[in-house]
Structure 1
Amino acid sequence: MSRLSLVLGLVLLAILPGTLDAQDVAARLGGRVPPTVRQAVVTIAAGAAARGLPVEPLVQKAIEGGAKGVPADRVIAAVRSLAGRLGDAMAALHEAGLATPDGDVVEGGADALNAGLTSHDVRDLVRLSRPPYDPSLTLRVAATLAALGVPGPQALQLVEGMISAGRSASDLLALPAEVQAGVGRGATPAEAAAGLARAAGGSPPGRTSGFVPPGQSNPHRPPPNPHKP
């Protein structure tokens, strides 16, 4: 990669608001990755920032590769691939109705895609993740479940079922550990997730069977009779 490419990348990062400072990106990579990786990542990060994507995950990916002694070409490929997933996640979030999602949500979407969920899965889960459910949390939980071996569609259904049942954020965060506990007892990840999904069908403690999460309607409740006061 030419020196001109590095300079252009630094200039782009410098003029884009809300991103890591150009010199900061270069300085953080200096001494941690080979010069060729540093130059490539600065350019990739500049392109990502120009699209409104978070830059920090790209820097962290490069630093991780350098710490592990991964060959330069593989580090560059991994960073470029991550930038692509961040872009795909951003597109899915836009489809879900988030005009300007924050970096945590975009990164959560990229994690979900990397774990095997589809762009449509990301879009649908974000649409369902209305307050008090943070989409960055629900995406990361679904991604972790898929990474543990739960099939992507099943991981999505489990998280969506927990939301529909009105479970708390702490309940959602506990799902990966509960799947691991089930695996420790001899179940497959899919079997453990299926058991949790069945349990989620019940009402949360202290709530009636007709409980509906805030901001959502009950599809099973009959419409009001317009002829009755």
Structure 2
Amino acid sequence: MRTIGIAVSLVLGTTLAGGLGAQDVQVRLDRRVSPEVQRAVRGIAADAAAHGLPVDPLVQKAIEGGAKGVPGDRVIAAVRALAGRLAEAKEAVSEAGVAAPSGDVVEGGADALNAGISKGQVGELVRVSRPPQDPALTLRVAATLAALGVPATQAIQLVQGMISAGRSPSDLLGLPGQVQAGVARGATPAQAAAGLARAAGGPPPGRAPDWVPPGQRKPRNPHKP
């Protein structure tokens, strides 16, 4: 038992991913959440750090729950669920070819998962987010679009279409506001997103990114295999 206690102390005493140490976690949680929540979150944060996950989102989630007066067991459950999404997001980003993803990218992936975007779609978006695009930004834009009511697949296609059209990161950042403006004019989120896709030269909703309108596809050369 003593060996286990020492091991736990060593884990909690290490520097946590995202720039937070165990003492920093304790200080940030002190007087903001109950001692029970503090103990649980410190343990979850230590485990997350051991797996290379960002810790700051976990601490912030606990603080937000405490500020809203959410019962302790629900705060702990929410923090644990977020840790699970961060782990899934890191796996998706790594499978997309990013060997050592930053905390921002992992957190962006977790936001996307929370908004209903699938693990596979997270990977797709990371793969197309090459400079000057930042995968953390594109993931958060897609997550925001999905949270606004744009179907997940359509949100991914819209962002991919903008990237393929050579649009800048600032153009992508403006997409959620443009969808909201369309909704204010009476469109559904899906209709507003479809209008933006057409303006960007992207495919209609439900079409693959390489979709070509009927009659515009170049005929196949019979002399080429």
Normalization by structure 2: what TM-score? Answer: 0.85
Shift of 1:13: 3.4
Shift of 1:24: 1.0
Matched, 1:122 2:119: no
Show the counterpart of 1:212: none
Shift of 1:7: 7.9
Whether contact under 8 Å (2:179, 2:193) holds in the other structure is yes
What does 1:1-229 align with in structure 2 at a 5 Å threshold? 11-16=10-15, 18=17, 19-201=19-201
Q: Runs of 5+ in structure 1 lacking a partner?
A: 203-219, 221-229
Normalization by structure 1: what TM-score? Answer: 0.83
Whether contact under 8 Å (2:92, 2:123) holds in the other structure is yes
Whether contact under 8 Å (2:155, 2:193) holds in the other structure is yes
Distance 1:10 1:70 in 2: 29
Distance 1:37 1:178 in 2: 40
User: Given the superposition, is the C-alpha separation of residues 192 and 171 from structure 1 closer, same or farther in structure 2, using an over 3 Å criterion?
Assistant: same
Whether contact under 8 Å (1:6, 1:39) holds in the other structure is no
Distance 1:78 1:61 in 2: 8
Distance 2:61 2:5 in 1: 19
- Deviations, residues 19-41 of structure 1 (Å, cap 9, x unaligned): 41111101110100011100000
Shift of 1:11: 3.0
Question: Which amino acid counterpart does residue 11 of structure 1 have in structure 2?
Answer: L
Shift of 1:15: 2.4
User: Given the superposition, is the C-alpha separation of residues 17 and 32 from structure 1 closer, same or farther in structure 2, using an over 3 Å criterion?
Assistant: closer
User: Given the superposition, is the C-alpha separation of residues 10 and 153 from structure 1 closer, same or farther in structure 2, using an over 3 Å criterion?
Assistant: farther
Secondary structure of 2:69's counterpart equals: coil
Q: Runs of 5+ in structure 2 lacking a partner?
A: 203-217, 219-225
Question: Which amino acid counterpart does residue 82 of structure 1 have in structure 2?
Answer: L
Secondary structure of 1:155's counterpart equals: helix
Question: Which amino acid counterpart does residue 179 of structure 1 have in structure 2?
Answer: V
Show the counterpart of 1:210: none
Runs of 4+ aligned residues of structure 1 deviating over 4 Å after TM superposition are 4-10, 16-19
Percent same amino acid among aligned pairs? 69
Whether contact under 8 Å (2:16, 2:22) holds in the other structure is no
- Deviations, residues 39-95 of structure 1 (Å, cap 9, x unaligned): 000000000000000000000000000000000010000000000000000000110
Question: Which amino acid counterpart does residue 68 of structure 1 have in structure 2?
Answer: K
- Deviations, residues 113-147 of structure 1 (Å, cap 9, x unaligned): 00000000000000000001000000000000000
Distance 2:67 2:144 in 1: 23
Whether contact under 8 Å (1:6, 1:42) holds in the other structure is no
Distance 2:87 2:98 in 1: 14
Whether contact under 8 Å (1:54, 1:107) holds in the other structure is yes
Distance 2:12 2:86 in 1: 17
Distance 1:112 1:91 in 2: 14
